[in-house]
C-alpha cells in the first residue's frame, strides 16, 4: 500500500520512504534517510541525515532523530543512527547520531521513549526498554534488554546497564548497573533483584533464587567485587543468567554501583 504523505511535509526527494507510512504536515525529513514500512511520523518531527529506521515505528510531535552529536570531538563527518522495529518515540525525544563515521548510535526493537527522553551519540540500546519522562543517557553507553528507566534518570558517559534492571526515579549514576537488579537512592545503590521483570520474561523461580544468591555475594559479602565473582562461580549453580552476571561484572571498566 502506498504511503500517505502530506503535501505540507518537507521531505527531501532522496529520502527512502517505505510502504504504508503516514507522514503528517510539517514533518521534516532530510535526504540521507531510510524509513521502513508502516511508520507513523507526526507533525513537527525532524528526521535528519544518517537515520536508518525499520518498520512499525511511531514518532510523535517535536522528536528529533539523528540530531548532531553534542560532542566536542564531532567535526561534521557523516554517521548513522540505526533504529529497529516497533519503537515509540513520544514528544520531544532527541536521539543523536554517532560522532564519527565508523560509529553508530543503535536503538533495538520495541522500545518506548517517553516525553523528553534523550539518547546521546554512540549509545547502544537493546530491545523492549522503557525510558521514563526526561531521562537522559549520555554518550557511549550500553543498555541491555528489558531495562526500565523511571522518570528523570541520568546515565553518565560510558556506563552500562544490564538486562532486566530497573533504575528508580531521579537517580544519577556514573558506574555500571548489573543485570536483573533494582537500583535507587542518592547516591545510587543496589536495592534488590528485579523479580517482577524477570517473571515477565519467564525466568523461573529457581533461577531467580540463584540470581539473588549471586548478588548477596556481590553486595553483602565482605570481599572485593571480583573475589565475589569467583565465589559465584564456585558456589552458585551455573546457568545462562549467572554467566550474564559474572561476564558483566568482569567486563566493567568503570566499576559497578555501590554496595548497600
Query: What confidence tier does 82 reach under pLDDT thresholds 50, 70, 90?
Result: very high
Please tell me the least confidently modeled range out of 103-117, 119-133, 190-204: 190-204
Q: Say what the pLDDT of residue 137 is.
A: 98
Q: How many CB atoms lie within 10 A of CB 90?
A: 20
Q: Say what the pLDDT of residue 259 is.
A: 74
Q: What is the mean pLDDT of the chain?
A: 96
Q: Cβ distance 97 to 50 under 8 Å?
A: yes
pTM over 0.85: yes
How far is Cα 63 from Cα 126, in angstroms, rounded to an integer? 20
- Mean pLDDT along residues 203-225: 94
| Placement of cell 544468591 in the chain | 213
Residue 94: closest CA among 64, 131, 57: 64
| Grid coordinates of 64 | 528529533
How far is Cα 85 from Cα 90, in angstroms, rounded to an integer? 15
Q: Say what the pLDDT of residue 52 is.
A: 98
Residue 161: closest CA among 129, 192, 134: 129
Calculate what percentage of the chain has a pLDDT beyond 70. Answer: 100
Q: Say what the pLDDT of residue 221 is.
A: 87
* Residue 91, φ and ψ in degrees, nearest 5: -60, 140
Query: What confidence tier does 260 reach under pLDDT thresholds 50, 70, 90?
Result: low
- Mean pLDDT along residues 209-224: 94
Q: Inform me whether the pLDDT recorded for 226 exceeds 90.
A: no
Q: Which helix (H) or strand (E) holds 240?
A: helix 240-250
Q: 121 an active-site residue?
A: yes
Query: What confidence tier does 1 reach under pLDDT thresholds 50, 70, 90?
Result: confident
Of 118, 121, 127, 210, which is the active-site residue?
121
CA dihedral over 149, 181, 260, 205, signed as positive or negative: positive
Q: Say what the pLDDT of residue 147 is.
A: 97
How far is Cα 128 from Cα 73, in angstroms, rounded to an integer? 31
User: What's the pLDDT tens digit per position in 145-160?
Assistant: 999 999 999 999 999 9
Q: Say what the pLDDT of residue 67 is.
A: 98
Q: Inform me whether the pLDDT recorded for 222 exceeds 90.
A: no
How far is Cα 204 from Cα 59, in angstroms, rounded to an integer? 35
Q: Inform me whether the pLDDT recorded for 258 exceeds 90.
A: no
Q: Cβ distance 86 to 69 under 8 Å?
A: no
Q: Which helix (H) or strand (E) holds 249?
A: helix 240-250
| Placement of cell 510531535 in the chain | 61
By the 10 Å C-beta count (0-12 exposed, 13-18 middle, 19+ buried), 22 is classed as middle
Q: Inform me whether the pLDDT recorded for 236 exceeds 80.
A: yes
Amino acid at each position: 500500500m502506498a504511503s500517505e504523505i502530506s503535501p505540507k511535509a518537507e521531505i527531501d526527494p532522496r529520502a527512502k520512504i517505505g510502504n504504508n507510512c503516514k507522514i503528517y504536515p510539517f514533518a521534516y525529513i532530510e535526504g540521507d534517510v531510510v524509513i521502513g514500512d508502516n511508520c507513523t511520523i507526526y507533525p513537527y518531527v525532524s528526521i535528519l541525515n544518517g537515520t536508518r529506521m525499520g518498520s512499525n515505528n511511531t514518532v510523535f510531535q517535536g522528536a528529533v532523530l539523528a540530531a548532531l552529536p553534542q560532542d566536542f570531538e564531532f567535526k561534521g563527518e557523516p554517521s548513522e543512527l540505526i533504529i529497529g522495529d516497533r519503537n515509540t518515540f513520544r514528544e520531544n525525544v532527541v536521539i543523536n547520531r554517532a560522532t564519527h563515521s565508523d560509529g553508530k548510535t543503535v536503538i533495538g526493537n520495541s522500545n518506548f521513549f517517553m516525553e523528553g527522553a534523550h539518547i546521546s551519540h554512540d549509545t547502544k540500546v537493546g530491545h523492549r526498554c522503557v525510558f521514563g519522562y526526561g531521562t537522559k543517557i549520555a554518550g557511549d553507553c550500553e543498555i541491555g534488554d528489558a531495562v526500565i528507566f523511571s522518570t528523570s534518570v541520568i546515565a553518565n558517559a560510558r556506563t552500562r546497564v544490564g538486562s532486566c534492571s530497573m533504575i528508580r526515579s531521579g537517580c544519577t549514576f556514573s558506574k555500571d548497573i548489573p543485570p536483573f537488579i533494582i537500583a535507587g537512592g542518592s547516591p545510587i545503590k543496589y536495592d534488590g533483584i528485579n523479580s517482577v521483570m524477570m517473571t515477565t520474561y519467564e525466568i523461573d523461580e529457581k533461577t531467580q533464587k540463584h540470581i539473588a544468591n549471586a548478588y548477596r555475594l556481590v553486595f553483602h559479602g565482605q570481599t572485593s567485587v571480583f573475589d565475589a565473582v569467583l565465589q559465584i562461580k564456585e558456589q552458585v549453580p551455573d546457568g545462562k543468567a549467572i554467566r550474564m552476571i559474572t561476564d558483566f561484572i568482569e567486563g566493567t571498566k568503570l566499576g559497578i554501583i555501590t554496595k548497600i
